[in-house]
Every structure is written in structure tokens, then in C-alpha cells.
Amino acid sequence: MERTQELLVNMGPQHPSTHGVLRLMVKLDGEQVTWCEPDIGYLHRCFEKLSEQKTYPQVIPFTDRTDYLAALLNEMCYVEAVEKLFGDAIVVPERAQYIRVMMAELQRITSHLLALGSMAMDLGAVTPFLYCWRDREKIYSLFERITGGRMLYNYLRIGGVRNDLPEGIIGTPQDGEDKADKTIWGFINYFDAYVYPQWKELVTGNRIFQYRTQKIGVLTAEQAIAYAASGAVLRGSGVKWDLRKNLPYSIYDRLEFDIPVGKNGDCFDRWWVRQEEMFQSSRIVKQCLAWLAENPGPVMAKVPRVLKPPKGEIYHRIEGARGEVACYVVSDGGTNPYKVKWRSPAFTHLQLMPLLCPGHKVADIIAILGSIDVVLGEVDR
């Protein structure tokens, strides 16, 4: 007499396509997934508790290490939250705000490049991953000249940025591919003329890739909102919500850019949204470069030597590379935060796996996980 039963399989934490130390517990009926649950808790960064033992400026390097692929965006969220605590006492110079936004959008491009490259490699396409690494290195060379670090920066400061842009790094709008790792204009022109079209042709238009991602892991707009999704995961489901547009912060309300949205909420749409967001980030960087070239000035506000925000609490959120990054800071009037609470989109999006995986094949789980783009550094924080 034949007997069938579901098979419980552990995917990870050693499996490379789980994007870090993540274990997915999966029940299978043959090749079909009937149940999936993510199991986290391997990194123990203790970022929020550590912040209570550090002064306000000392917290900044720890924000780099939450989502380490979008460090500058994390810094931006935290320093703007603390600046809000000070109210009118700290006025960030305009030039510093443009530098922050330009750096944030370059960081968004690096993050999306790796998200797309790793997802493509997870599905069997190795070449795009090598290309993404090649192009990210060019931006990292620029970041190194500006901040001194290639991946973790500690560049933003409460009141501005640590230092102005090095001489000559802006370049000119005529800079070409040969200056892609030497000037910001060189990289942006290289990206628009070569990188962006290459991704569209090599992967997005590939029929095999489309077959692996279309109608896989469909997340409806109603489900995305109910599960507090944000970023490309939310916009891939057709919800046009971007904090840079809907609740503008910094100087985003002065800039022109569009918000790409998907139609079907599947893995392909989430891929497509990130691809198009890179192009919109390129548009933003160009506008910042034009302004910075014509407007010299200070990059740091006058701040007290010892920072002691008045008693109070603040919640600040920005549009990170993976979605809504938010910081809740409580001040008791001392030199250290009384409480720091971090809202990480990757942690929120992992809860979608039990919703999206059942009914699909084992191989589809890899596509689904890649499409929600998690970084475990900010999941177990």
C-alpha cells in the first residue's frame, strides 16, 4: 500500500541563495510547497541596545552596519531624526543636504545593482552578477575618495556631512566611460548609456528569466498594504507610494523624478521596479550635480561640542533601498539616546514568505526570496 506524506526541508542558513544567515523551513508535497516559515536570529547585532550606551554621534557607525548594502541611507535616517529632536537649533546647510541626497541615490543604485545581480544569479544567470559587481566597484571608488570608506562610511554628521566633495570629483557633463570611476558625472553618463540598457536587454528581456519570474509570488496591492510592505515590494504591486514624493524630506521636493510601479505584483514586477528606480536615481544625481557645481558653501552647521537634545521623542522615516527605513529616538536630555528603535523593511518583508510561497515549486522559493531583497544585517538587529 502506497503512503504519502509531506516532507519538511530546511533551506539554509548555509545555502547561498538565502542571502545570509536565514533558515527557511519548508513543507513539500513532491516539488510543491505547502508551507513555509522563515527562522531568523543568527546575527544578534544588538544595534538598538548598543545605541543606549553611546553618545548621539557615536551611534552613526552602527547604523552603517544594519543594512550594510545601503549604509548612507541608514545614516541619513538617523541623523535627520536627531536633527528633528533639536528643532530649529540645528539648521543643516543647503549644500550638505544636496550632498546627502546625491550620495543616498548613488547608494540606492549600488544596492539595487546587487539586488538584481544576486537574484539573477540565484536563478542561474551568473554573468549579470559579475556585471553588477563591476559597476558597483566604480561607485565604491568614488565613495572611497569622498568618505574614505568603500562600504561602511560614517560620513554623515548631525548638522551636515563630515567633509565637502574632493576637488574634481564632480567632473563635467561631457565625462565618458573612461572616467566612470573618477568622476560622478563620468559614472552617471556611463550608467545611462551602457549599464541601464544592458540590464534591460540581458536579463529583463530574456524569455527564460521572464518565465521564471512572471506570475510567481504574486502579491496583491491589498495584501502589500495589509502586510506593511514598502519600497519596490509595495510599488511592484501597483501601489504608487514613495516617501520621497508622498512625504518629502530633505530637498526631495525640489527634484524631478518619477515613481515606477508594477502591474501584477509578481517577482518580475519587483525586479522591473528596481531596474527603473536606478534610472530615476540617475536623474536625481544629475540635478544634484548641476546644483553643487554652481553653489559652494559650508557643509556643516554650528553644533555644540557636546550634543544634548532637549527631552522628547521623534519618529523619522525615509525611503531606503529596500523600503521604508524609520528611526524612533527618545531623548532624556542627556548625551546618550534613552531609546533607539529601528524600523527595517527587510524584517517586515520576510513575513511575506509564508504568504507567497505555498502553491509554488521549490525553485520558485529562490525567485520569491530574491525579489523581496532582504539583508539579514537589519533583520536580526
Query: Tell me, what CATH number does 261's domain have?
Result: 1.10.645.10
Give residue 312's domain range: 7-379
The answer, yes or no, to whether residue 28 has pLDDT greater than 80, is yes
Q: Which pairs from 160-168 meet CB under 8 Å and 24+ separation?
A: 160/92, 160/93, 160/96, 160/298, 160/299, 160/300, 160/301, 161/96, 161/99, 161/100, 161/299, 161/300, 162/300, 163/299, 164/95, 164/99, 164/299, 165/99, 165/292
- d(C-alpha 69, C-alpha 264), whole Å: 27
pLDDT of residue 41: 79
Residue 2 lies in a domain: no
Residue 322 lies in a domain: yes
- Examine residue 1 and state whether it is found in any structural domain, yes or no: no
Q: Give per-residue pLDDT as tens, 320-336.
A: 999 999 999 999 999 99
What average pLDDT does the structure give for the chain? 95
Residue 213: pLDDT over 80: yes
pLDDT category, 58, cuts 50, 70, 90?
Answer: very high
CA angle, corner 67, sides to 177 and 321, nearest 5?
55
pLDDT digit string (tens) for 104-136? 999 999 999 999 999 999 999 999 999 999 999
Mean pLDDT of 81-85: 97
Tell me how many domains the chain contains: 1
User: What is the reported pLDDT for 380?
Assistant: 81
| R_g (Cα) of the chain, nearest Å | 21
Instruction: Name the band, by pLDDT with cuts 50, 70 and 90, for residue 5.
Output: confident
Residue 269 lies in a domain: yes
Segment 91-99 mean pLDDT: 98
Residue 217 domain-assigned (yes or no): yes
Neighbouring residues of 79: CB distance < 8 A, sequence distance ≥ 6: 60, 156, 157, 158, 159
Percent of the chain with pLDDT over 70: 99
**pLDDT surpassing 60 at residue 1:** no
pLDDT at position 175 is 95
The mean pLDDT value for 351-370 works out to 96
Compare 361 and 17 and report the one with higher pLDDT: 361
